[in-house]
């Protein structure tokens, strides 16, 4: 299942948020989300324009973040035109004050959803409901989708992390939650652990990839206590929802960087995936015993 999210650069955080939600909610369809800002979507050396057109042509659905500013961006209008010509389903996601009734023609004839004046949770639910309706696919059961309301404050982690990078010293002690894949796990640097108020000998360094893509954008964080026990045994590419805290700031020459600590974590594993994993393990054991 391929999704193409069309947006302009100032709304990248909202697009990342929607991408993570689509990947989690429709995980059984092995979704792929194309976003032009991701280097894993458009690699170095690729023909940018051709890659973009090919991705729209191959998409099963085009989701367009529509605001008053977005309507002035030529590439967004071009991507809609390519999808329209190919009869690819299009959903206009109206936000930031843009009401579906205010859409200019011919966009007013396309399917749209209004995300103005509703909570973050309701926004994501309206998007997944629209996708399910248009494509005729089922969303994951609600009890298998992580409830980010357990990790206040609820916002796009991408947005929070961008803010922390822009002004690290202004946002110490802030927290946010996000969906990640577990990458590298190794001992933490002692000086960084101490600066973040952690015991060096009990602290691990963790690399977490955004969403479910084990390439591209990632963060580095530290973890201690029971959570360190969890990451000590977890395998790479495990899906998790984690609460991240901006614990301190490290200065390296002219560069100032936020130090992040994982305060809570929950593994995301569907019943189907548990059964498949169990079956694989049984077969491996049986194969080993026959040798």
pLDDT value, residue 274: 46
Residues 154 and 256 in one domain: yes
Whether residue 7 is found in the same domain as residue 73: yes
Q: Does residue 57 sit in the same domain as residue 83?
A: yes
Q: Which domain holds residue 58?
A: 2-144
291: in domain = no
| Domain CATH number, residue 63 | 3.40.50.450
In this structure, are 152 and 129 located in the same domain? no
Give the residue carrying structure tokens 């990947």.
23
In a domain, 284, yes or no: no
Q: pLDDT tens across 123-144, in order?
A: 888 999 999 999 998 887 655 5
pLDDT at 270: 53
Based on the domain organization, do 69 and 156 belong to the same domain? Answer: no
The CATH number that applies at residue 192 is 2.40.50.140
Q: Is residue 280 part of a domain?
A: no
252 shares a domain with 156 = yes
Q: How many domains does the chain have?
A: 2
Q: Are residues 223 and 236 in the same domain?
A: yes
When mean pLDDT is compared over 118-122, 128-132, 212-216, the highest value belongs to 128-132
Predicted confidence (pLDDT) at residue 122 exceeds the cutoff of 90: no
For residues 82 and 158, state if they share a domain: no
pLDDT tens-place string over residues 186-207? 999 999 999 999 998 899 999 9
Decide: 80 and 65 in contact? Cβ < 8 Å.
no
Which of 144-148, 155-159, 211-215 is predicted most confidently?
A: 155-159
**What is the per-residue pLDDT for 22?**
86
Q: Say yes or no to pLDDT of 278 above 60.
A: no
Q: Which among 109, 144, 179 is the end of a domain?
A: 144
Task: Identify whether residues 139 and 22 lie together within a single domain.
Answer: yes
> What is the spatial distance between Cα 53 and Cα 104, in angstroms, rounded to a whole number?
24
């Amino acid at each position: 299942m391929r999704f193409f999210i069309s947006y302009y650069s100032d709304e990248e955080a909202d697009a990342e948020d929607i991408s993570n939600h689509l990947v989690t909610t429709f995980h059984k369809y092995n979704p792929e989300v194309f976003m032009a800002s991701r280097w894993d979507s458009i690699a170095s050396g690729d023909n940018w324009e051709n890659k973009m057109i090919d991705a729209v042509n191959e998409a099963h659905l085009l989701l367009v973040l529509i605001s008053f500013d977005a309507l002035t961006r030529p590439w967004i209008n071009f991507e809609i035109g390519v999808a329209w010509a190919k009869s690819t389903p299009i959903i206009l996601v109206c936000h930031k004050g843009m009401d579906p009734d205010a859409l200019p023609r011919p966009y007013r004839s396309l399917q749209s959803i209004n995300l103005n004046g509703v909570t973050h949770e309701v926004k994501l639910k309206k998007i997944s409901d629209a996708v399910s309706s248009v494509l005729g696919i089922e969303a994951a059961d609600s009890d298998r989708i992580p409830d980010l309301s357990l990790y206040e404050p609820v916002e796009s982690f991408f947005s929070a992390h961008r803010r922390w990078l822009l002004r690290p010293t202004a946002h110490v002690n802030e927290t946010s939650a996000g969906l990640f894949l577990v990458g590298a796990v190794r001992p933490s640097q002692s000086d960084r652990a101490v600066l973040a108020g952690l015991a060096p000998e009990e602290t691990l360094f963790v690399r977490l990839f955004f969403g479910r893509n084990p390439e591209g954008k990632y963060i580095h964080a530290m973890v201690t206590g029971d959570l360190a026990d969890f990451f000590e045994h977890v395998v790479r590419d495990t899906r998790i929802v984690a609460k991240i805290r901006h614990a301190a700031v490290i200065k390296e020459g002219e560069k100032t960087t936020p130090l992040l600590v994982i305060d809570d974590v929950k593994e995301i594993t569907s019943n189907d995936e548990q059964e498949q994993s169990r079956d694989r393990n049984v077969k491996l054991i049986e194969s080993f015993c026959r040798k």
